[in-house]
A and B are shown apart, each in its own frame.
Chain A
Amino acid sequence: EIVLTQSPGTLSLSPGERATLSCRASQSVSSNYLAWYQQKPGQAPRLLIYGASSRATGIPDRFTGSGSGTDFTLTISRLEPEDFAVFYCQQYGSSPRTFGQGTKVEIK
């Protein structure tokens, strides 16, 4: 099973700032099959990025995914008020599918 470790646990930033979230895998993720999700309180998660760097339908271009192998990054170029949430990475290169433990992006 691939273990995904996200860092930091919490990121305290102000609107307009840049957010950089990390997801590290315990072994190489096949074909860079890595996705990112955003979850707000009381809501289901929303797909942001798949294939490490492809934006899902309707996702603003301030969200950028990058990385390969075992190290992946989600960057939010300029935080909007609606971006504050918990973010999860997930690998689908092998079964079982696994999620990281999440990074909370909170308003400073």
Chain B
Amino acid sequence: QVHLVESGGDLVKPGGSLRLSCAASGFTFSDYYMSWIRQAPGKGLEWVSYISNSGSTIYYADSLKDRFTVSRDNAKNSVYLQMNSLKDEDTAVYYCARGGGSGRGFFDNWGQGTLVTVSS
């Protein structure tokens, strides 16, 4: 079955950087868009970014596109989120999810999430 495992979450100081990874298994990874969604403590869901199956189409939430970069390696069945210039408000659980693309923009499988804490 579909399995998504995020890693890379950590405690980081404001202004720092972090790279999250998501390893996928149980499906043909190169056939699917992948997305990142985050959830601040006690808050709702916030969509962050999606990347097309080939990596040629990428979209970010407007408030994040200058600091976050999504990428994927289909040979490794993995998607990544590079986060730079981190702020306190970036503190959240970051989920990777399958989906996000045109016509199939819902998220049918989610990882368990990885916690990013931005604090001095």
Chain A interface residues toward B at CB < 8 A: 1, 31, 33, 35, 37, 39, 43-47, 50, 56-57, 88, 90, 92-93, 95-102
A97 touches B44 (CB 8 A): no
CB-CB under 8 A for A44 and B44, given A92-B100, A96-B59, A97-B100:
no
A residues in contact with B108, CB < 8 Å: 47, 50, 56-57
Nearest-neighbor residue (CB-CB) of A36 within chain B: B106
Q: Is the CB of B45 within 8 A of A44?
A: no
Secondary structure type dominating chain B contacts: strand
**Bound state CA distance, A37 and B112, in angstroms?**
15
Can you identify 23 A-B contacts, CB atoms within 8 angstroms? A1-B62, A33-B103, A33-B106, A37-B107, A44-B110, A45-B107, A46-B110, A47-B106, A47-B108, A88-B45, A90-B45, A90-B106, A90-B107, A92-B105, A95-B59, A96-B59, A96-B60, A96-B62, A97-B50, A98-B47, A99-B47, A100-B44, A102-B44
- Cα A95 to Cα B59 in complex, Å, equals 8
How far apart sit A31 and B105, CA to CA, in the bound complex (Å)? 12
Contact A99 B61 (CB under 8 A): no
Residue in A closest to B64 when the chains form the complex, CB atoms:
A96
Q: Point out residues on B near A: beta carbons under 8 Å.
A: 35, 44-47, 50, 59-62, 95, 100, 103-113
Q: Which of B44, B61, B100, B111 contacts A101 (CB 8 A)?
A: B44
Q: Shortest Cβ distance from A88 into chain B, in angstroms?
A: 6
What's the least CB distance linking A95 to chain B, in Å?
5
A98–B98 CA distance with the chains assembled, in angstroms: 16
- B111 and A99: CB pair below 8 A? no
CA distance A43 to B110 in the complex (A): 10
Q: How far is the CB of A39 from chain B (nearest CB, A)?
A: 8
A4 to chain B, nearest CB (A): 10
Q: Are A44 and B112 in contact (CB under 8 A)?
A: yes
Q: What residue in chain B is nearest A93 (Cβ atoms)?
A: B105
Report the nearest B residue to A90, measured CB to CB: B106
Contact A45/B110 with A92-B100, A97-B100 known, Cβ cut-off 8 Å: yes
Q: How far is the CA of A44 from the CA of B61 in the complex (A)?
A: 20
> A31 CA to B104 CA in the complex, in Å?
11
Bound Cα distance A47, B110 (Å): 9
